[in-house]
Amino acid sequence: MAPPFPYAGYSEDVFKRVRVLFGQHFVADAQTPKLVWEHPYYPYYYFKKADVKEESLENGIITEGGMTYDLVAGSKVAKGAVTVFEEGNLAGYVKIAFEAADAWFEEDERIYVHPRDPYKRVMILPSSKHIRVEIDGVEVANTHSAQRLYETSLPVRSYIPMTDVRLDLMTESTMTTACPYKGTANYFDIHLPSGTKSGLVWWYKHPTLESVAVKGLVAFYDEKVDVWIDNAKQERPVTNFS
């Protein structure tokens, strides 16, 4: 049985097909890859050597505990993107840098950013709590119709209908971030008497299926704004990773 929160160094076999697309070729195709937590935040996929095309690895360099290779498909090259481990519990396994590949697939579904942690989940519940948000003393949201998003080991986020948000103070930003559990977030810049604030307000135009309940709703970075829930001011959460 896995620990409730996998620790750095924990690993386990996964019984799902995982493929890596690079330069129009699947350079790795595994029926039972391994999930490895190099740190406690999220895992990486590691492959058995036999599941990685040998011809896609070139220019090997000896490194501590193994070899580093360029990932190659035709004329396309990702330098130093592959590590082959030759010592320790992971001897015989291969790691391909997630961001180096063109696409990753679990079974036939494409995944983004990093592999999803099977011990984390997203739960979204409608809430009639009175939620009010201020930034630098200006009220920017006021609602009784939020969706409360609970994500394992992260602060609860309130997603608020746009009709309850001061959109007249906001303009769309070019900033985006991506989450494997929720999708790609788009941001607003918010213009206040104290100045323009960036990175505090986001929403999902096209969330993943598991997070579809927050589609088109607005969330605030509670660590940097003031929030009241049922007239009680909330302490700002402290997060080391999100």
- The pTM of the full predicted model, rounded to 2 decimals, is 0.85
* pLDDT, tens digit, 9 for 90 and up, residues 90-138: 999 999 999 999 999 999 999 999 999 999 999 999 999 999 999 999 9
CA 131, CA 34: separation in Å to the nearest integer?
Answer: 42
CA 193, CA 182: separation in Å to the nearest integer?
Answer: 32
| Maximal CA-CA distance, the chain | 63
11-111 against 122-233: fold identical: yes
Q: What is the mean pLDDT of residues 27-50?
A: 96
Going from N- to C-terminal start, the domains of the chain cover 11-111, 122-233
Let me know if domain 122-233 sits in CATH 3.40.50.970.
no
Minimal CA–CA distance to 234: which of 216, 213, 215, 220? 220
pLDDT at 237: 87
pLDDT at 133: 98
pLDDT at 18: 98
Q: What are phi and psi of 182, to 5 degrees?
A: -120, -25
How many C-beta atoms surround the C-beta of residue 111 within 10 A?
A: 16
pLDDT band at 2 (very low <50, low <70, confident <90, very high): low
Q: What is the mean pLDDT of residues 76-102?
A: 96
CA 34, CA 226: separation in Å to the nearest integer?
Answer: 42
CATH number of the structural domain 11-111: 2.170.150.40
CA 166, CA 169: separation in Å to the nearest integer?
Answer: 6
Tokens read off for 127: 């809430």
* pLDDT, tens digit, 9 for 90 and up, residues 177-202: 999 999 999 999 999 999 999 999 99
CA 106, CA 85: separation in Å to the nearest integer?
Answer: 23
